Chain A
Amino acid sequence: MSTVKKYDAIVIGGGHNGLTAAAYLGRAGKKVLVLERRYILGGAAVTEEIFPGFKFTVCSYVVSLMKPNVMRELMLPKFGLELLPLESTLTPLDNDYLLRTADADQTYREIARHSRKDAETYMRFGPAMGQIGMAVRPILETIAPNAIRPSLSDLGALKKLMNHFQSLSSEQFEYLTKLMTMSSADFLDEWFEFEPLKATMSASGIIGTFMGPKSPGSAYVMLHHYMGDIDGAFRAWGFQRGGTGAVSMAIARSAEHFGADIITEAPVEKVIVKNGRAVGVALENGDEYSSDMVISGLDPKQTFLNMVDESDLPSDFVTDIKNFRIRGSSGKVNLALDALPNFTCLPGDGHHLRGAISISPSYDHLERAYDDAKYGNFSQEPFMDMILPSVLDPEMAPPGKHVMSCFVQYAPYDIKGGWDDTKREAFGDAVINTIARYAPNIKDIILHRQVLTPADMEKTFGLTEGNIFHGELTLQQLFSMRPAVKWADYSTPIKNYFQCGSGTHPGGGITGSPGEMAAKKILGIWS
């Protein structure tokens, strides 16, 4: 055992939020140490060359929710943040397709091919949701108040939010309420009629969620995906050159620029708590580091049930954390391809391959996929959100070859009988068969495939139950309740122990937000 130098703060986990917190603290002049369990930084925002020459954006694959001020304040463009526009969404259908592109006229016409009414509505829908996205921004940017015993500043923040809501029009407030409570299908049914359009849009409401598009509550997840913007364009998604791991690396370089030390292959075993106060951490290899503050970038289950002893926590809080829902429902299949997939509906190369490709031909398709998972199986015909990173950034694959990222639902963590190699491969096959229905050449062009089940994600990335958001985005797990009431402001019942992962407000996705707000909260305490 060796005790090395003392830090102002130690961040457990080199995920993008942990790194963001470290960078902000460093920027404020604090000496910070980041300890990452894996050989590589990034957590769920990671790029790895799994097969020689083929770089996989292993888990997350697109960026939209990254906070603009974080990009600016951490000077991320300087350290390698380069977001390429993801220009379109293609929904292949059995004998047709639905295509939405960056061009309003083209999108209008493409939708009008299927429904003129929807084409018109679509033009209103975008700005309306942009407004709602803007309306919720202040909530996202507020440190969630303590709902049990609000402090003076909590009350001030609440008052500000109340005023903000009063400034909304009744129509906006109505949409917002509906988005907070409805199913994404019900919400979209109020606007649109063409089912493949609705199904594809509703899919934003099921990503990372153990719900179907017809499950109440899924509309909020859809809203969660609407809140981002790129260069001021709301709801726009982009692809980071080099994969999402390059976002994490940009943040890491920024953190280092601000003086942070980062150590990989340094799994933390326990937070050292003395007299109800965190004073440092102990690694699995026995090394100990001491610091004034310890910040966990892990999910709430890890942060509280693993990193510290239950006996150091109040029992009602332990109950709350145990009750925190964190079911995983997503899988990921990454493919190394010899050539481009050829979609029957739009054969050959074309603009459409530069965007997202969504396997969501109907609500029924999504709901059946969900039913499979609900009753403990992976989806036989899953929903998929796919991109071809190598089309956007040729360096992702050897010249002429391609990589394809397939985000897949549903793959329940609690699969009947548990996950094993056979099931993983069967799941991979289900994915390939489903793609083959729309791009029959897929089977012939696969060079390698990587299949990740929620169990794999738990094992490899430390995501409890494989939940991609460190906890479900249900109404009762948001804002002042995320991850638990009284402790939603990044602090914890243990003094000097803080949390900054996606399991805190405002939740998952590559946002940098929990990391930033946690750092700001901590700096507030420090000063």
Chain B
Amino acid sequence: MSFKNPFTAETQLKLSPFFERTSKLNESQEWKRWSGYLAATQYELTHDNEYFAIRTKAALLDITPLYKYIIEGPDAQRFLDRLVTRNIQICKVGQVMYTPWCDEHGKQIDDGTVQRLSENKFRITSAEPNLEWIETNSAGMDLSVSDDSKTTASLALQGPNSRAILNAVASDLLDSLKFFWMMDTQFGDIPVSISRTGYTGDLGYEIWMNPKDALAVWDLLLEKGKPYGITPTGLQALDIARIEAGLILLDVDYISTRHAIIESRKSSPYELGLGWAVKLKKKDFIGKKALKAEVDRGSEWAFVGIEIEWDSFEKLHREAGLAPGLPCTAWRKSTPLYKGNEQVGYATSGTWSPILKRYIALAHVKTEYAKENTELDFELKVEHFRKLTPARIVKTPFFDPERKRSCPQ
């Protein structure tokens, strides 16, 4: 696993088990740090092809840096129900649930998926390390927690052709695998788990395997996927896709309450558009009291999608003698939103959507301005000067293809 990068000094960063392949494929040599791993920003010199692979072909992403924990034991489900806001009791074996989790003040710590691997065994994924939180809060319960971050490698295969590729590789057909369910199968004689999940809002799967099989799996997928346009894809393309899908990103769209230092940096799931995932009817869970109180009181903030209106955006640029300067990669710089003279919110990430041909962003706004179609002003800089341009609250996901959830007849 210790691969010496031919281009650089020996890195002090972690290397994924796929690095031996990804490092050779990475023409741009553009890397990013992701949870202490070296992760490809993009493989080609521009990311466009990778983005369109997600939306029109099949994109292959190394998502090993995700933190993963296995929770196992008679109290595993009871514990998860204490930990997260969704109802894990009704999660069936083979089912996956996306859920946030909170501190006792109902402020969000992280979000991820819970996979029910068997009656008493679960895997939970997260953006930041959560072992300490999980261990401290499972005190007094009959279960064991193990860090699965390094013991399981994972790939995401996303895009309309992803099912076809997996059908070509796996020993079982995936046609009946429903959205947010998973199954065990084999690639040749390599055992893998496949969940129908992803971070692109498209038809897509995530493949979970033993790290020792990583390279073989990678090679198989690339080989069998070639006719379907399989494309190694970096984080740049993914960022556009996840905004189109209206999916939040920790440390970009919100800050974990564990690190937030000040109160105003914390958000509840309601304030992040995840109210649907908070099950106040279930028994006591961490943050319930506070979340209930928030519902009674009404949340101060809402999380919304906005669309920056084209005409005046174009006009502002035209006036400066420029063509509209569209963000062709996703941005992550907090940007003010106004209603009249008052700042009523801020967008946290945005992008030009190549598939929708719309300029979209995700934003926090005061609840009273969160209604669909509310007109706000979005701050932008045109040739060094600040301007305001109209933006409108729109429903998310911005992009939501039928194929994401459907199964072939």
Residues of A participating in the B interface, judged by any CB pair closer than 8 Å: 103, 105-106, 108-109, 116-117, 119-121, 123-124, 127, 130-131, 169
Q: How far does the Cβ of A370 sit from chain B's closest Cβ, in whole Å?
A: 30
* Contact partner, A131, options B14, B135, B261, Cβ 8 Å: B261
Contact A117–B135 (Cβ < 8 Å)? yes
Contact B135–A105 (Cβ < 8 Å)? no
Contact A109–B132 (Cβ < 8 Å)? no
CB<8 Å pairs between A and B, sample of 15: A105-B12, A106-B36, A109-B14, A116-B129, A117-B131, A117-B132, A119-B129, A120-B129, A120-B130, A120-B131, A120-B132, A123-B129, A127-B259, A127-B261, A131-B261
Interface 1/0 per residue, B103-137 and A, CB below 8 Å = 00000000000000000000000000111110100
Tell me the B3-61 residues at the A interface (CB within 8 Å): 12-14, 33, 35-36
**Which 5 pairs of residues, A with B, have the shortest CB-CB distance?**
A105-B36, A120-B132, A120-B129, A117-B132, A116-B131
Contact A109–B261 (Cβ < 8 Å)? no
Q: How far does the Cβ of A169 sit from chain B's closest Cβ, in whole Å?
A: 8
The residue of chain B having its C-beta at the shortest distance from the C-beta of A104 within the complex is B36
Chain A hits for B13, CB < 8 A: 105
- Considering the chains assembled together, what is the distance between the CA atoms of A116 and B150 in angstroms? 12
B400 on the A face (CB < 8 A): no
Contact B129–A124 (Cβ < 8 Å)? no
- Considering the chains assembled together, what is the distance between the CA atoms of A238 and B36 in angstroms? 26
The residue of chain B having its C-beta at the shortest distance from the C-beta of A128 within the complex is B261
Chain A hits for B132, CB < 8 A: 116-117, 120-121
Chain A hits for B259, CB < 8 A: 123-124, 127
- Considering the chains assembled together, what is the distance between the CA atoms of A329 and B284 in angstroms? 53
Chain B hits for A120, CB < 8 A: 129-133
Chain B hits for A131, CB < 8 A: 261
B81 on the A face (CB < 8 A): no
Contact B261–A103 (Cβ < 8 Å)? no
| A interface majority secondary structure | helix
Given A117-B131, A120-B129, A120-B132, does the pair A106, B261 have CB atoms closer than 8 Å?
Answer: no
Residues of B participating in the A interface, judged by any CB pair closer than 8 Å: 12-14, 33, 35-36, 129-133, 135, 147, 258-259, 261, 263
- Considering the chains assembled together, what is the distance between the CA atoms of A100 and B363 in angstroms? 37
Chain B hits for A108, CB < 8 A: 36, 129
Chain A hits for B131, CB < 8 A: 116-117, 120
The residue of chain B having its C-beta at the shortest distance from the C-beta of A117 within the complex is B132
The residue of chain B having its C-beta at the shortest distance from the C-beta of A124 within the complex is B258
Contact B261–A116 (Cβ < 8 Å)? no
Contact A116–B147 (Cβ < 8 Å)? yes
Number of A-B contacts (CB under 8 A): 36
Output the residue of B130, B132, B259, B261 with the most chain A CB within 10 A. Answer: B132
The residue of chain B having its C-beta at the shortest distance from the C-beta of A169 within the complex is B263
- Extra A-B contacts (15), CB below 8 Å, given A105-B13, A105-B35, A120-B131: A103-B12, A105-B14, A105-B36, A106-B12, A106-B36, A108-B36, A116-B129, A116-B131, A116-B132, A117-B131, A120-B129, A120-B130, A120-B133, A124-B259, A127-B259
Q: How far does the Cβ of A291 sit from chain B's closest Cβ, in whole Å?
A: 48
Q: How far does the Cβ of B105 sit from chain A's closest Cβ, in whole Å?
A: 10
Contact B33–A105 (Cβ < 8 Å)? yes
The residue of chain A having its C-beta at the shortest distance from the C-beta of B260 within the complex is A127
Given A123-B259, A124-B258, A124-B259, does the pair A109, B36 have CB atoms closer than 8 Å?
Answer: yes
Q: How far does the Cβ of A355 sit from chain B's closest Cβ, in whole Å?
A: 15
- Considering the chains assembled together, what is the distance between the CA atoms of A501 and B235 in angstroms? 56
Chain A hits for B35, CB < 8 A: 105
- Considering the chains assembled together, what is the distance between the CA atoms of A213 and B190 in angstroms? 53
- Considering the chains assembled together, what is the distance between the CA atoms of A230 and B145 in angstroms? 39
Chain A hits for B261, CB < 8 A: 127, 130-131
Chain A hits for B258, CB < 8 A: 124
Chain B hits for A109, CB < 8 A: 14, 36
- Considering the chains assembled together, what is the distance between the CA atoms of A410 and B36 in angstroms? 39
Q: How far does the Cβ of A269 sit from chain B's closest Cβ, in whole Å?
A: 53
Chain B hits for A119, CB < 8 A: 129
The residue of chain A having its C-beta at the shortest distance from the C-beta of B37 within the complex is A105
Chain B hits for A103, CB < 8 A: 12
The residue of chain B having its C-beta at the shortest distance from the C-beta of A110 within the complex is B12
- Considering the chains assembled together, what is the distance between the CA atoms of A123 and B131 in angstroms? 13
Q: How far does the Cβ of B142 sit from chain A's closest Cβ, in whole Å?
A: 20
Q: How far does the Cβ of B182 sit from chain A's closest Cβ, in whole Å?
A: 26
- Considering the chains assembled together, what is the distance between the CA atoms of A108 and B33 in angstroms? 13
Chain A hits for B129, CB < 8 A: 108, 116, 119-120, 123
- Considering the chains assembled together, what is the distance between the CA atoms of A123 and B128 in angstroms? 11
Q: How far does the Cβ of A115 sit from chain B's closest Cβ, in whole Å?
A: 10
Q: How far does the Cβ of A342 sit from chain B's closest Cβ, in whole Å?
A: 20
Chain B hits for A130, CB < 8 A: 261
- Considering the chains assembled together, what is the distance between the CA atoms of A498 and B404 in angstroms? 77
